[in-house]
Structure 1
């Protein structure tokens, strides 16, 4: 059975997350239903990351084993036709080796979190940003974030229901920038790691926001990390500002020949 990689973009708001669920809409369920319109029988796909309810993706990657050796372009076009009107798009499809795996072959995941910090409510950007009314001090947040770079026990920054075998992860980068968005000033958090714990990104951003607004000193983030205690974490920020933006592999399966 030929294996295909899928580059997926979606708005996470209507979904209970990536993972298929019996009684709630999911991104995985939507794509599998579209695939079963193309080929008979049950089809199960695997993804690079299981995003939570309300979290978006611009560069999620999944793979599927199909019966027919599809032309990749025709496969993506057919899937996009059958995915309507769900806010899910297959940006590209590619034939990959039979042992290639969207999750286990990945070397790195990258997330973007957007905060819109203006007084007026978010309208056109609603559902895509976390709206924070006061300006945030980017320099203070950068100083606090430096305590989190590297290999650490991230117990403080993972959900109590996290199923990872170990809380030890290596966080390769946290880049924090102020940018001028279409709707006003935004603060962008870009995080890179081989893998993340459940709610790790949202826990980190929510904690750093406390530093940015002046409620926490930067050193308190170091203390929270060293506490290895979920109670020491700042508030978990809402999901709507978070997007999975890229997954890196030894070779990009979607690169043009």
Structure 2
């Protein structure tokens, strides 16, 4: 990767003349099928571990990544955001992205790279995350959607699916839809603020669920989709969703949608002028 020598303007070439490192933001897409989730985990292939290794090779120094969403095993991303510090302040970001994509592609792709303020953090600066879940609702499976959509052959009532979304909007305790972190005490809150949740009919039996919130807890989206699909099948009623949410009982949502239909679509930050939630809200 080609860079410019930051000491070129200083004939002495002294270390004092070198500017400090810069913080870089990457927008990353990936097919999570072959990875054991986003977070680095020794002994297994993860998105963050693979990406950090590639970045270290290209930049020629170790990197520490902060990630906006800790996606689970098999979950995909279109707009995951990663931040890291790069030692060379004159790094060629285009060359960096191309080099990393050459190592990690096609399963992982750096879609954009920008230099950001030193206090930017991909996780803690985020004010909302948006996920998409795809359901293939027709009698026969489609091998070309098998890695990215949950095949549900039974007919689903789209109106019921949409009615089931209403009780999810707003700030609520989502304990019924979340796996509580191991060892978490009573002070750990599972209150999240859902800003939007809706179903779309894309045609040809393809349904898409979009949900945006200030943050999500573990398995929250997949549990919501599992319950709503049960509503669409007629196993539950849309009017029961509010009561299930208020109960705070994980046993009330036995169906968890499979991971391969889920995609982290976008992450919002105040500096981008995007819609925001309360920045004081809980973190994922």
TM-score normalized with structure 2 length: 0.84
Structure 2 residue aligned with 1:249: 269
Q: CA deviation at 1:40?
A: 2.9
- Counterpart pick for 2:43 among 23, 46, 50: 23
Q: CA RMSD in A?
A: 1.5
Say if 2:143 is the partner of 1:123.
yes
In the TM superposition, what are the counterparts of 1:53-72 in structure 2 within 5 Å?
53-69=73-89, 70-72=91-93
- Counterpart pick for 1:202 among 214, 222, 241: 222
Say if 2:192 is the partner of 1:172.
no
Q: CA deviation at 1:154?
A: 0.7
CA distance in 2, matches of 1:57, 1:47: 12
- The runs of at least 4 aligned residues of structure 1 exceeding 3 Å deviation read 160-164
Mapped contact 1:45–1:64 kept (Cα < 8 A): yes
Q: CA deviation at 1:44?
A: 1.2
Q: CA deviation at 1:42?
A: 2.3
Structure 2 residue aligned with 1:110: 130
Mapped contact 1:210–1:234 kept (Cα < 8 A): no
Structure 1 residue aligned with 2:16: none
Structure 2 residue aligned with 1:2: 22
Q: Which runs of 5+ in 1 are unaligned?
A: none
- Counterpart pick for 1:87 among 88, 107, 127: 107
Which secondary structure does the structure 2 equivalent of 1:251 belong to?
helix
Structure 2 residue aligned with 1:75: 96
In the TM superposition, what are the counterparts of 1:214-233 in structure 2 within 5 Å?
214-233=234-253
Q: CA deviation at 1:252?
A: 3.2
Q: Which runs of 5+ in 2 are unaligned?
A: 1-20, 274-284
CA distance in 2, matches of 1:235, 1:39: 44
Identify which range, 143-152 or 244-253, moves more after superposition. 244-253
Say if 2:163 is the partner of 1:140.
no
Q: CA deviation at 1:219?
A: 1.7
Which secondary structure does the structure 1 equivalent of 2:72 belong to?
coil
Which secondary structure does the structure 1 equivalent of 2:34 belong to?
coil
TM-score normalized with structure 1 length: 0.93
CA distance in 1, matches of 2:67, 2:190: 21
Count of residue pairs the alignment pairs up: 249
Identify which range, 47-56 or 131-140, moves more after superposition. 131-140
Greater Rg by CA: 2
